[in-house]
């Protein structure tokens, strides 16, 4: 459900942004700031108060401070290996906002046709998740173990760039409907496959973090996981940008799509290895904490 609402926001946000920016960019900034301020107030009010039993539980864990807790999590090797293996999924999914629109603009131009093609790939990505996430999750849960679902999801995300790779072998028309189709269809297919792969993997990804945490310090595990993936996205986007520039300079448009496909399949292979060796199974509840004592 989180992914459904997340994608709904991604779908509606740019539409609202275009309307507000059409009025005045300052209005966009003020509305955005107001939304964040409102969400901050809501979350502050919604957070549960620290109960006496919470303090007793912390005392039972040795009264660990933040740094001691992080040291314990950093000693949780399966969790760290899983976090690194999942970086690829975030790098690949982020290309809906980076490489795919750039490819549409490269072929379709900056005019209305290019804008329509970019809007189409955003719409396909968001609507697919909104309409299909719960069904895909139920279908996968009935057939696969969490590790198997993760491997399939990452493999689907890696293969999402194959339509773009194949499109590089097609001669580029100079104008007309053929040029628009070449600019719009492969990136949209890639966005669709990325959405499907994300739908397959995401719920099991979140559940695996809880399992590997031993159901202790779950929020801290999520925080470190997002930190690792965030740094991976930064490096991955720098690499993707470099590959796009190199592809244009060398006249090899297939280069970035080959690199992204290899990244997805490599991460899927890494997850397969973790699953086969049992490292994605639940950890004893005390294991991450015991390592920091």
- CA 252 from centre of chain: 27
CA distance 59 to 48: 19
Query: Average pLDDT over the chain, rounded to whole?
Result: 87
- Could you report the per-residue pLDDT of 38-50, keeping only the tens digit for each? 999 999 999 887 6
pTM of the model: 0.83
39 and 74 in a single domain? The answer is no
Q: Tell me: do 39 and 97 sit in the same domain.
A: no
- Please indicate, yes or no, whether residues 75 and 176 belong to a single structural domain of this protein: yes
Do both 8 and 138 map to the same domain? no
Q: Which domain holds residue 114?
A: 54-290
CATH number at 203 reads 1.20.1250.20
Helix (H, G, I), strand (E, B) or coil at 241: helix
8 A C-beta contact, residue 277 and residue 77: no
Q: What is the pLDDT of residues 209-268, one digit of tens each?
A: 999 998 888 888 999 999 999 999 999 999 999 999 999 899 899 999 999 999 999 999
Do 45 and 189 form a contact (C-beta atoms < 8 A)?
A: no
Shared domain check, 157 and 35? no
Q: Are residues 164 and 207 in the same domain?
A: yes
> Quick check: 286 pLDDT over 60?
no
Higher pLDDT, 65 or 274: 274
- For residue 68, pLDDT beyond 50: yes
pLDDT of residue 287: 44
Are residues 137 and 10 located together in one domain of the fold? no
Structural domain count, the chain = 2
What are the phi and psi torsion angles at 240 (to 5°)?
A: -65, -45
């Amino acid at each position: 459900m989180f992914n459904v609402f997340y994608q709904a926001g991604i779908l509606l946000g740019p539409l609202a942004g275009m309307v507000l920016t059409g009025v005045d960019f300052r209005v966009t900034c003020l509305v955005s700031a107001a939304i964040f301020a409102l969400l901050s107030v809501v979350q502050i009010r919604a957070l549960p108060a620290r109960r006496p039993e919470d303090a007793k539980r912390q005392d039972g864990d040795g009264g660990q401070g933040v740094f001691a807790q992080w040291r314990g999590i950093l000693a949780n090797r399966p969790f760290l290996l899983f976090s690194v293996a999942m970086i690829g999924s975030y790098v690949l999914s982020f290309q809906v906002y980076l490489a795919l629109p750039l490819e549409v603009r490269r072929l379709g131009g900056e005019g209305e046709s290019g804008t329509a093609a970019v809007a189409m790939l955003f719409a396909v990505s968001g609507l697919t998740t909104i309409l299909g996430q719960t069904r895909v999750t139920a279908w996968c849960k009935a057939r696969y173990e969490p590790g198997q679902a993760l491997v399939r999801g990452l493999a689907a995300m890696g293969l999402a760039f194959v339509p773009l790779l194949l499109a590089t072998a097609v001669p580029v028309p100079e104008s007309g409907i053929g040029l628009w189709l070449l600019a719009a269809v492969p990136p949209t297919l890639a966005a669709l496959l990325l959405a499907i792969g994300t739908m397959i993997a995401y719920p099991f990804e979140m559940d695996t973090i809880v399992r590997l945490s031993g159901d202790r310090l779950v929020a801290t595990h999520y925080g470190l996981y997002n930190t690792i993936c965030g740094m991976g996205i930064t490096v991955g986007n720098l690499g993707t940008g470099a590959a796009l520039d190199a592809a244009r300079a060398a006249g090899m448009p297939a280069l970035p799509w080959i690199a992204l496909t290899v990244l997805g399949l490599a991460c899927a292979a890494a997850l397969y290895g973790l699953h086969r060796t049992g490292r994605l199974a639940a950890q004893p509840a005390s294991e991450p904490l015991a390592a920091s004592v």
